[in-house]
Amino acid sequence: MIDVKLSADATANPQIAVGEIACRPFPGPDGVRGAGLVKQQLLKRHNGWLRGTQIEISCPEKIAAADQPAAALAEALLIDSMILGYELDPAFAALGDFNTDGNLTPTLAAGSRVLAALRGGVTRMAVPEKSTAQVADVMLAEGAAKFATMQIFAVGSFEEIPPLAAAQLDDKVTHAMTLFARAQTLLAEAGDRSDSALSDPTA
């Protein structure tokens, strides 16, 4: 499993009445389904959709079909940043999928995907709340100290992700990250004793 980085380009096309979205790394029925759910989620968020614009998502890596659902949040985040004009932090990662109602859903092998992001240099990450048990299991198995350089946020809706992903963070996120950083320092200092340090009420 690899850390996959997506990019997106938008071009004007006055010949189309509504905006279109395509994702080259994810061909076939699953790719079409994923693009449709991403568009549906952003249409709801922005009370409409881009008109006369074609958006194409691409990435340098070859992606397996099983990995398509895990990238839905990242796809939506890319396009949302283009619509609103905010800059994404390159060290941020989003992991998860939507269902037909637009709710965030857990993804297969969430823990292993978080490990792949960690190896890729990700320092801040959003995962669906329903995936936290899988992520916690991997953290316990690997040792909490291994995750001392990554901040993982559990989210219940897409609206929670952009403030976490932006290069310019707002005050609430900055405060949360400061608290998170204290725990990271504790883990780093504890080393092999990190798991017991987390349960130490005096720390």
Kindly state the percentage of the chain with pLDDT values over 90: 13
Is residue 63 in some structural domain? yes
Is residue 175 in some structural domain? yes
Is residue 2 in some structural domain? no
pLDDT at 25: 65
Tell me the CA distances in angstroms from 120 to 2, 3, 124, 136, 189, one per residue in order. 8, 6, 12, 19, 23
Residue 171 has pLDDT above 90, yes or no: no
pLDDT, mean of residues 145-172: 87
pLDDT (tens digit per residue) in 53-90: 888 888 777 777 777 778 888 888 988 998 899 999 99
pLDDT at 201: 46
Task: Read off the amino acid at residue 107.
Answer: T
Which of the given ranges, 21-35, 38-52, 173-187, has the highest pLDDT on average? 38-52
Rounded CA separation 81/171 (Å)? 19
The number of domains in the chain is 1
Whether the Cβ atoms of residue 195 and residue 144 lie closer than 8 Å to each other: yes
pLDDT at 175: 73
pLDDT, mean of residues 162-176: 85
Rounded CA separation 197/54 (Å)? 51
Domain residues for the domain of 77 are 7-198
**Where residue 193 sits, what CATH number does that domain have?**
3.30.230.10
Rounded CA separation 54/13 (Å)? 7
pLDDT, mean of residues 126-152: 85
Is residue 1 in some structural domain? no
pLDDT at 198: 46
Alpha helices in 85-128 (DSSP H): 110-119
pLDDT at 203: 46
Exposure pattern of 99-113 as b/e (b: 16+ CB <10 Å)? Answer: eeeeebebbebbbeb
Is residue 17 in some structural domain? yes
Is residue 203 in some structural domain? no
Tokens 């994810």 map to which residue?
26
pLDDT at 185: 64
Is residue 161 in some structural domain? yes
Average pLDDT, the chain: 79
pLDDT, mean of residues 22-30: 70
Whether the Cβ atoms of residue 75 and residue 31 lie closer than 8 Å to each other: no
User: What pTM did the predictor assign?
Assistant: 0.76
At 197, the pLDDT band (50, 70, 90 cuts) reads very low
Neighbouring residues of 152: CB distance < 8 A, sequence distance ≥ 6: 114, 125, 126, 127, 135
Rounded CA separation 107/169 (Å)? 27
Is residue 87 in some structural domain? yes
